[in-house]
Amino acid sequence: MAALRKLTPELSRSLLRPGGLREAVGRRGVRVLRRSPVRVLPPQKERGAAAEAQQSPREPPPPTPPPPAVERSSAGPGLWYEKAAPGDRRLGKVVTIAKSKKFRDHHGKVLLEGHRLIKDALEAGAVPQTLFFSTVGHLKELPEAKLKRANLLKVKFEDIKSWSDLIAPQGLIGIFSKPDHAKMSYPATQLTSSLPLLLILDNIRDPGNLGTILRSAAGAGCEKVLLTKGCVDPWEPKVLRAGMGAHFRLPIITNLDWESVPSNLPAGIKVCVADNKDPGAQVETASVLKGAGRAGSAPGNPKAPVKSKPQAAPEHKDKEGATGVCVPELAAQYYYENWTQTPVAVVIGGETHGLSADALHLAASTGGKRLVIPVVPGVDSLNSAIAAGIVLFEGKRQLLRRHKQEDERQKFPVAA
């Protein structure tokens, strides 16, 4: 700074004279005027990379590879399937949402697993949407004409095993549109063996019991089954497994309120209920059967009159806890005594909440009776599925005997 202060007066005087600028440049300040800025050099590695980039031309980035093509194979004439790639999560996603009742009701889809169940569904006219299988042999065992409408996806057996509810899965899972009983084509053998015998289910909430009851109804030749509100969803996987294909052998009408039940019954029908109400008990201490699971009673006189208080009508406490619901009194008889006519229906109640007052009112309005299955004293009740099987097959026996007697009377009319 001191040197600059000394230089400044001299430069100022030189610049004031003619030609003073050239004279000043040629003197001590020439180094200052010619000095260039300091260049900052990057590290050695960066300088080498920059030099290589300047020498070689910049290459364009490689193009994005196209998505892999779907691998499709033929499983027969006009039948093609897709092979799932590693990490394909469609099976797990579909199985998870199809197991939800909310999804089934909202989207109208059900999940079926196993060769027999899927074959029965296809033959009955159920519409398949997606079929997951582990080997092509599974497809060859199914009606190929019905599979052309479905998306077929081959997956690893380990994937099916991880999502299956079965202990020993078969490697075949299907997603179907929720079947409509009015559009189904039930087996001809089932239709020809059908009897004027109907089944009404009231508060059956156990999936295993419901599936077993449906299987018994199909075996007994029931015309159809009505499920009132409060019953478990018949399209739940556990119900389907216990039903063993019964869903596709007879009409199943679900989610009915009791006001709409009569419109689904034929005219002139008699409705009976399975009950274990002690015929000799007093009304004020009697309780409604805790389901067809309570459809057993100790031996006694089923036709004994039921005592009642003359000054008050019998009351029943319903499942919501409200009192004042008058329960009609029905005549009681053993299940093996004659109770059938054409047509006839049987109401089976659940083991937890039992028969509802609506079921008893319906039976009373049609002249129905309480059917008692006698059991050894001390045994509380029978399982609802067991009781249903006993009553249904007894009803079948009585109806067949009645039909046989009518045929004999037509063949050999009695002379007047």
Report field, pTM of the whole predicted structure over 0.75: no
Token pair for 360: 């008893």
Residue 55: which residues within 8 A CB-CB, separation 6 or more? none
d(CA 303, CA 5): 136
Per-residue DSSP letter, 23: H
Token pair for 290: 């805790």
- Contact of 169 with 121, CB cutoff 8 Å: no
Long-range CB pairs of 63-72 (<8 Å, 24+ gap) are: none
- Contact of 350 with 232, CB cutoff 8 Å: no
- Contact of 219 with 252, CB cutoff 8 Å: no
| DSSP-assigned states of every residue in 189-219 | HHHHT--SEEEEEES---HHHHHHHHHHHHH
CA 37, distance to chain mean position in Å, is 80
Token pair for 295: 């459809």
Q: What is the pLDDT of residue 69?
A: 42
Q: Tell the burial category of 312 from Cβ atoms under 10 Å away from its Cβ (0-12, 13-18, 19+).
A: exposed
List, run by run, the mean pLDDT of 10-residue segments along the chain (416 residues).
53 56 54 58 60 57 48 65 84 80 86 94 94 91 88 91 86 93 92 93 95 97 96 94 96 96 95 74 39 47 39 41 68 93 92 88 95 87 92 95 84 66
CA-based nearest residue to 232, from 204, 259, 268, 254: 204
R_g of the chain computed on alpha carbons: 42
Q: What is the pLDDT of residue 316?
A: 44
Residue 336: which residues within 8 A CB-CB, separation 6 or more? 394
Angle at 201 (CA atoms; ends 200, 207), nearest 5 degrees = 145
Report phi then psi at 11, rounded to 5.
Answer: -65, -40
Residue 163: which residues within 8 A CB-CB, separation 6 or more? 91, 92, 95, 96, 173
What Å distances lie between residue 364 and 181, 191, 226, 357, CA to CA? 29, 30, 18, 11
Direct distance between the N- and C-terminal alpha carbons of the chain, in angstroms, rounded to an integer: 152
d(CA 364, CA 272): 9
Strand order in the sheet with 197-202: 252-256, 224-228, 197-202, 344-349, 270-274, 370-372, 332-334
314: left (phi > 0), else alpha (psi -120 to 50), else beta? Answer: beta
User: Is residue 149 classed as helix, strand or coil in its secondary structure?
Assistant: coil
- Contact of 265 with 345, CB cutoff 8 Å: yes
Q: What is the pLDDT of residue 162?
A: 85
d(CA 308, CA 48): 109
245: left (phi > 0), else alpha (psi -120 to 50), else beta? Answer: left
Q: What is the pLDDT of residue 95?
A: 80
Report phi then psi at 413, rounded to 5.
Answer: -65, 140
Q: What is the pLDDT of residue 305?
A: 39
